[in-house]
A and B are shown apart, each in its own frame.
Chain A
Amino acid sequence: SYELTQPSSVSVSPGQTARITCSGDVLAKKYTRWFQQKPGQAPVLVIYKDSERPSRIPARFFGSSSGTTATLSIRGAQVEDEAVYYCYSAADSNLRVFGGGTKLTVL
């Protein structure tokens, strides 16, 4: 088995850049995806293929990856960005893992 490790919480003031990290050996070889989940809602894909952004996701969401660590950055974070963010990767077709989630607070 393998794991993806995220900080449990991150806090920023509105307008600042929020950075959420995801660490795991598999990330050196496999893509990272990021999901946003607001209370009572299903997750939403915000980043795929380490740094690609679906067209409906605001440009302030930025993904990067280096070695065994991937980072989701939210430039100019807004109150509406408060959510839990999960990273995800697949070492193999039958080895698919989410990180534990990071609660982002913007206040």
Chain B
Amino acid sequence: QVHLVESGGDLVKPGGSLRLSCAASGFIFNDYYMNWIRQAPGKGLEWVSYISSSGSTTYYRDSVKGRFTISRDNTENSVYLQMSSLRAEDTAVYYCARENSAWSDAFDIWGQGTTVIVSS
């Protein structure tokens, strides 16, 4: 079974840091690009960051550039999101999602999400 399991979400104060993890299983992890996508309470989906299969290429949405860092460990079948200088507007459920190049780069597998709350 193909699975993605996120962890690391927590309540953190504004300006604080947090590291999210996403563990993959059931597929050849280093064959796939990976993404983080978030959803603020009661709001829509928002793409956050992308990492290539080797980890050599990364992209971010403008609002998190310089504050968030995506990385991956292909030996551990995991992708990470290091978040710093957190703001209230970063409060959201964070999903990791597999990007399938055979399906025109669609996000074909999603984790269940992990919740980040930024509040004093």
Residues of A within 8 A of B (CB): 31, 33, 35, 37, 42-45, 48-49, 52, 54, 84, 86, 88, 90, 93-94, 96-101
Set of chain B residues within 8 Å of A88, measured between Cβ atoms: 45, 47, 107
Given contacts A43-B110, A48-B104, contact A35 B59 (CB under 8 A): no
Q: Check B46 for interface membership: any CB of A closer than 8 A.
A: yes
Set of chain B residues within 8 Å of A96, measured between Cβ atoms: 35, 47, 50, 59, 61
> Contact size class for B?
20 to 34
Assess the A45–B108 pair: CB atoms within 8 A: yes
Q: Name the contact of A94 in the complex, choosing from B50, B105, B106, B111 (C-beta under 8 A).
A: B50
Nearest chain A CB to B13 CB, angstrom units? 27
Complex interface bits, B79-120 against A, C-beta within 8 A gives 1, otherwise 0: 000000000000000010000100111111011110000000
* Assembled-state Cα–Cα distance A49/B101 (Å): 11
Who on chain B is nearest to A93 by CB? B59
* Assembled-state Cα–Cα distance A30/B103 (Å): 13
Q: Name the contact of A33 in the complex, choosing from B60, B61, B104 (C-beta under 8 A).
A: B104
Q: Check B44 for interface membership: any CB of A closer than 8 A.
A: yes
Who on chain B is nearest to A94 by CB? B59
